[in-house]
A = this chain, B = another copy of it.
Amino acid sequence: MLSSKRLLQADEGRRQFQWAKGHMPALLLAKQHVDKSEGRNLLSGLRIGLCLHISKETAVLVEAFHSLGMKINLVAANPLSTQNPIREYLSHYLKVKVGGNKFESVRDYRHDIDKLAKTDPDLIIDDGGELHVAYARSKGNNCFGGTDETTSGTTRLLALQKKQMLKYHVIPVNEAQTKHLFDNRYGTGQSSLDGLVRATGLLIAGKVLVVCGYGWVGKGVAACARGLGARVIVTEVNPVTALEAHLDGYQVMRMGEAIRLGEIFLTCTGQIDIISRGHFEKMKDGAIVGNCGHFDREINISDLKELSSSSKRITEYVAKFGLGNKSIYLLCNGRVINLVAAEGHPPEVMQLSFANQLLAIHYLARHRDEFARDSPRVLVFPREIDEMVSRFALSAFNLTIDKLSPEQLRYSESYSC
């Protein structure tokens, strides 16, 4: 039985869950679609393992699987991103097994993932690929399909495929247009700035803010930062993307130059060592560094620690490092700031990503026999799901759009001028 404190948390979590659910109609439409389909019972009784950020939006996805009769085992996709009231809500009211705890140790966090892999579920949803990797290394062979939520996950899945370590077909949900064009851009954009402001309390207007990486996440972060008055510098390794940033009006330069100019640095690359030893040495006194990517390896914290003669916590999410006579401030211990210092993506964005997740899981169940005959691979994201979600999203946002007339359709396939 829950302690009264945990019960209070569970009730708080329920209220947050309901608030989020009210803003995720596209996910509910996807759920209704499954309910009305022929394969409506395919998921019932299956065991699904989820490694996701334990947020109010995730709770809405979990509830959908729950009401489809699935057995759910949920662990956190980051040791700092768990919203405890949501954990209590899921655990107490839906009786879902939930690992994860805000501020848990990295060891506990990894242990939860490994433990989940070992339960050998039927299906896996992951965010970042750690659970997929853990499963690939486990002895499990029951799982028949998986999905992943993010760019980092896609990278890892392709690597597993290349090494022939995949044991099941995987749908990389991040590749859906209705995922990466929206979640990665508008979701991470707003919530990263939200995390930055909550962590530091500082004014964005007038700040020199360096956005490392101008992929969909970087584009969103740069746009929101500029929208709040920052002067944004972009660093890139991809020439086409760098040109886009330049013509979007941002200053583009090498990290080696930007490092001397920036007041705030946000890494958005999915890479390692974006900010490392040589960079810390050249930074201005007072510089602030934070990470918007999935893993905590974009900022090399070991380097920072080695260079520093002192360190102390300033506020909950700000740590100060002393290097000679300058100070550098690290946010959220290098972990993804929108989920650690703020609450992650807003529900309006997550409804698209999670509608894709729900339909992708259903798709895997519907094609189970067919896929069982092939060797496991990373699938191309099914166009039919993307289109369905885009229609649900229009409805969720109350948008109505035009249709091509038969003459226009014909014209679009003709060579008449």
Contact A315 B16 (CB under 8 A): yes
Q: Of the candidates B155, B201, B249, B414, which one forms a contact with A346 in the assembled complex, judged by CB atoms under 8 Å apart?
A: B201
User: A283 to chain B: which residues have CB within 8 Å?
Assistant: none
User: A187 to chain B: which residues have CB within 8 Å?
Assistant: 203
Known A56-B201, A251-B231, A415-B129; contact A242-B401, beta-carbon cutoff 8 A = yes
Q: Restricting to A138-178, which residues have a CB under 8 Å from any CB of B?
A: 152, 155-157, 159-160, 162-163, 165, 177-178
Known A186-B229, A240-B181; contact A401-B252, beta-carbon cutoff 8 A = yes
Q: Does A1 contact B (CB under 8 A)?
A: no
Contact B415 A163 (CB under 8 A): yes
Interface extent on A, as a size class?
A: 35 or more
Instruction: Name which residue of chain B comes closest to A394, CB basis.
Output: B239
Instruction: Name which residue of chain B comes closest to A224, CB basis.
Output: B228
Cα-based distance from A221 to B204 in the complex (angstroms): 14
Q: Does A277 contact B (CB under 8 A)?
A: no
Q: Does A349 contact B (CB under 8 A)?
A: yes
Q: Does A237 contact B (CB under 8 A)?
A: yes
Known A190-B228, A273-B408, A391-B239; contact A247-B182, beta-carbon cutoff 8 A = yes
Cα-based distance from A407 to B273 in the complex (angstroms): 9
User: A88 to chain B: which residues have CB within 8 Å?
Assistant: none
Interface-side segment among A17-25, A32-40, A93-101: A17-25
**1/0 contact string of A285-296 vs chain B (CB within 8 Å):** 010000000010
Contact B249 A411 (CB under 8 A): no
Contact A402 B237 (CB under 8 A): yes
Q: Does A380 contact B (CB under 8 A)?
A: no
Q: Does A112 contact B (CB under 8 A)?
A: no
Q: Does A244 contact B (CB under 8 A)?
A: yes
User: A155 to chain B: which residues have CB within 8 Å?
Assistant: 412-413, 415
User: A20 to chain B: which residues have CB within 8 Å?
Assistant: 201
Q: Restricting to A383-402, which residues have a CB under 8 Å from any CB of B?
A: 386-387, 390-391, 393-394, 397, 399-402
A26 to chain B, nearest CB (A): 10
Q: Of the candidates B159, B236, B272, B387, which one forms a contact with A413 in the assembled complex, judged by CB atoms under 8 Å apart?
A: B159
Instruction: Name which residue of chain B comes closest to A162, CB basis.
Output: B413
User: A313 to chain B: which residues have CB within 8 Å?
Assistant: 15
User: A347 to chain B: which residues have CB within 8 Å?
Assistant: 201-203
Known A346-B202, A407-B272, A417-B129; contact A394-B190, beta-carbon cutoff 8 A = no
Q: Does A262 contact B (CB under 8 A)?
A: no
Contact B194 A397 (CB under 8 A): no
User: A130 to chain B: which residues have CB within 8 Å?
Assistant: 417
User: A365 to chain B: which residues have CB within 8 Å?
Assistant: none
**1/0 contact string of A349-393 vs chain B (CB within 8 Å):** 100000000000000000000000000000000000011001101
**1/0 contact string of A215-255 vs chain B (CB within 8 Å):** 00000000110111111000111111011101111111111
Q: Does A314 contact B (CB under 8 A)?
A: yes
Q: Of the candidates B19, B182, B247, B405, which one forms a contact with A314 in the assembled complex, judged by CB atoms under 8 Å apart?
A: B19
Contact A206 B415 (CB under 8 A): no
Q: Does A133 contact B (CB under 8 A)?
A: yes
Known A190-B204, A228-B227; contact A272-B411, beta-carbon cutoff 8 A = yes
Contact A205 B315 (CB under 8 A): no
Give the 7 A-B residue pairs with the shortest CB-CB distance, closest first: A227-B227, A203-B346, A239-B390, A159-B415, A203-B348, A156-B415, A205-B247
